[in-house]
Amino acid sequence: MQTRWQRIRNRLHTIVFENDTWAGRLFDIALLLLILLSVAAVIAESVPALANKEIFQILEWAFTVVFTLEFILRLIAVRNPLQYLFSFFGLVDFLAILPAYLSLFLLGSHELVVIRILRLLRIFRILKLQEYTSAADLLAASLRESRAKITVFFVAIFTLVITLGAMMYVVEGHSNGFKSIPASIYWAIITITTVGYGDIVPSTWMGKLIASLIMLLGYVIIAVPTGIVAVSLTGIANRREINPQACPNCGRQGHDSDAKYCKYCAEKL
């Protein structure tokens, strides 16, 4: 039989983490409005004509107090607060209030509260846009599954730009803007990614030939990570569906639709 504290915590979990009740939806919508107002206040404060206004300091600390209380409620609502704290949304919630307290010791750090905009990711759950939430979870899962291939790909690109940069340094030299190997590597990176700022350009026929090859290679390289992720994404999408329910123990989401236990902490859903 549940104790009174357990009933209170379960009710709090339903309001704070779920949106199946009017209280939960009201809580989440009010929270999103506060986040938008907080970010808007920080952006407005950066305008020179509005800077150093006392009203913004009052608003910032008011928002910080509210978000601190909300963060404490989330920790209370789960059975394992540490697991929630080190989850993605737990870290975002913590970082949302940290800059304001850091500003007491480090000047200028309060502008970092714009990180609160990340908390708007909760809007997909609040508005029951489950297809978008599922798509985001599938994309994250496909990236995790492809991380070994993507790591090998980036190591290969990293090696390639170093080699090509050093080659251009030897071919072009100081007189044509390639004043060092790091500067040449910078040129190779912006060329192979097809950005091409044009602040450094080759002048010799050999340099132009190498640059042309790098540009063509850049178009080929762009398709590689896309194909890796697409294949993984298709495979994962065919294997599972996502359950939007939050774990009552750690508060995490993204479980399979037929899951009976949390895949993060093994708590019964």
Of the pLDDT bands very low, low, confident and very high (cuts 50, 70, 90), residue 110 is low
Q: Which two tokens stand for residue 168?
A: 């251009």
Highest mean pLDDT: which range of 100-109, 134-143, 203-212: 203-212
Q: Quick one: average pLDDT of 145-153?
A: 78
Instruction: Fold for 4-128, please state it.
Output: Four Helix Bundle (Hemerythrin (Met), subunit A) (1.20.120)
CB–CB of 112/39 below 8 Å?
no
Total-model pTM: 0.55
Helix (H, G, I), strand (E, B) or coil at 118: helix
- CA 69/CA 20 separation, integer angstroms: 22
Instruction: Fold for 145-242, please state it.
Output: Helix Hairpins (1.10.287)
Q: Which two tokens stand for residue 60?
A: 């910032």
Domains in the chain: boundaries? 4-128, 145-242
What is the DSSP code (8-state) at residue 243?
E
Lowest-pLDDT range of 125-134, 140-149, 166-175, 176-185: 125-134
Q: Select from 141, 146, 115 the least CA-distant residue to 253.
A: 141
CB–CB of 187/165 below 8 Å?
yes
Of the pLDDT bands very low, low, confident and very high (cuts 50, 70, 90), residue 58 is confident
Q: Quick one: average pLDDT of 194-207?
A: 85
Of the pLDDT bands very low, low, confident and very high (cuts 50, 70, 90), residue 241 is low
Residues 193-230 as b/e (b if ≥16 CB within 10 A, e otherwise) read: eeeeeeebbbeeeebeebbeebeeebeebeeebeebbe
